[in-house]
Structure 1
Amino acid sequence: MSDTIDYGNKMHRAMRGLIAEVLEDVGANGLPGEHHFFITFDTRHPDVEMADWLFDRYPSEMTIVVQHWFDNLIVAPDGFQITLNFGDNPEPLAIPFDAIRTFVDPSVEFGLRFESQDDEEEEHEVVELPDVDLAEALELDKSDDPKPKSKTDKGETVPAKEAEVVSLDAFRKT
């Protein structure tokens, strides 16, 4: 047993469960009202199934739109299958939930984004900082005036203004 609760993975499973539930309902009843989905997925995921020509065109990521025409929407515990029209050419796709990067329903401004371990590593690159003399960097201003200072547009140093407290009572409606 782990020493910590993996909230990130639990949350991702719950969000993917939400997507599955929504897609199951759409598969059974169609899209209600103005709802439509933009689903971006990782085409390199080993369980993605798509035509070779689509993979050649989208070798790492693809966004599909589920809106006007789709067919054979089947939801399984680990993913979904759907047939979409690409230039009057219906193509079946199989997309595992683990491959989904974003799920957006712009009609109601709803969206989910899934961060992968690769994304996190790219965002947290190690950056080397220049050597800094810590004592010099932390040296305090030894002037006799303890008040904070600020600079004007002309570069002159002047004492900073005192903060003012404003009562909001004057702006309240009665």
Structure 2
Amino acid sequence: MTKSIDYGTLMHQAMRTLIMEVLRGVEREGLPGDHHFFITFDTRHPGVEMADWLQERYPEEMTVVMQHWFDNLSVNEQGFAVTLNFGDQPEPLYIPFAAIVTFVDPSVEFGLRFESQGDDDDEEDEDEDAAMEIDAAEPRTEAEVVSLDKWRK
């Protein structure tokens, strides 16, 4: 009987806990300094809640920016709710932590990327891809959908 430690799953759990703790701090105290987040998530994931027009426009994946204007941030063990501004139209979202594909804070060149179970062809690649650095991005004045393809393999 051979047992092994599932480091990939443990790392993903730890990374999601890190995101939860960061967002809980922002919920309590707001965004400190120049910190801001690009959060890419799978819009098809069970539990994601978003306006129908956003779901139609982003049927698979969406990136939101939390920076200058966001409201009603509420974090729980499974995910977070937030209201963001899309072209002067406030929209509430609920994003389960398990739906997050990437979490990036360009102000400090910090980023996390989660590989989906379908991408587990090589366990070593998953561990290598679990964390990534990125270049700082232009400051945004409202929530926008952006592409992170520049930083993907």
User: How far apart, CA to CA, are the structure 2 residues paired with 1:81 and 1:4?
Assistant: 36
Q: By how many angstroms is 1:85 displaced?
A: 0.6
Q: 2:43 aligns to what?
A: 43
Q: TM-score, normalised by structure 2?
A: 0.76
Q: TM-score, normalised by structure 1?
A: 0.67
User: How far apart, CA to CA, are the structure 1 residues paired with 2:117 and 2:77?
Assistant: 23
User: How far apart, CA to CA, are the structure 1 residues paired with 2:55 and 2:80?
Assistant: 18
1:12-59 deviations in Å (ceiling 9; x for gaps): 000000000000000110111100000000000011000000000000
Equivalent residue letter for 1:68: H
Equivalent residue letter for 1:99: A
Q: By how many angstroms is 1:118 displaced?
A: 2.1
Moved over 6 A (4+): none
User: How far apart, CA to CA, are the structure 2 residues paired with 1:81 and 1:2?
Assistant: 42
User: How far apart, CA to CA, are the structure 2 residues paired with 1:88 and 1:28?
Assistant: 25
Q: By how many angstroms is 1:120 displaced?
A: 3.4
Unmatched runs of 5 consecutive residues or more in structure 2: 122-153
Unmatched runs of 5 consecutive residues or more in structure 1: 122-174
Rg larger in 1 or in 2?
Answer: 1
Q: By how many angstroms is 1:2 displaced?
A: 7.6
User: Structure 2 matches for 1:63-82, cutoff 5 A?
Assistant: 63-82=63-82
User: Structure 2 matches for 1:6-45, cutoff 5 A?
Assistant: 6-45=6-45
User: How far apart, CA to CA, are the structure 1 residues paired with 2:55 and 2:104?
Assistant: 22
User: How far apart, CA to CA, are the structure 1 residues paired with 2:55 and 2:29?
Assistant: 30
RMSD over equivalenced CA pairs, Å: 1.4
Percent of matched pairs sharing the same residue: 73
Equivalent residue letter for 1:12: H
Q: 1:108 aligns to what?
A: 108
Aligned to 1:35, the other structure's residue is in SS state coil
Which one has more relative contact order, counting CA pairs under 8 Å at least 6 apart?
2
Aligned length: 121
Aligned to 1:84, the other structure's residue is in SS state strand
User: How far apart, CA to CA, are the structure 2 residues paired with 1:8 and 1:119?
Assistant: 12
Aligned to 2:44, the other structure's residue is in SS state coil
Equivalent residue letter for 1:28: R
Equivalent residue letter for 1:7: Y
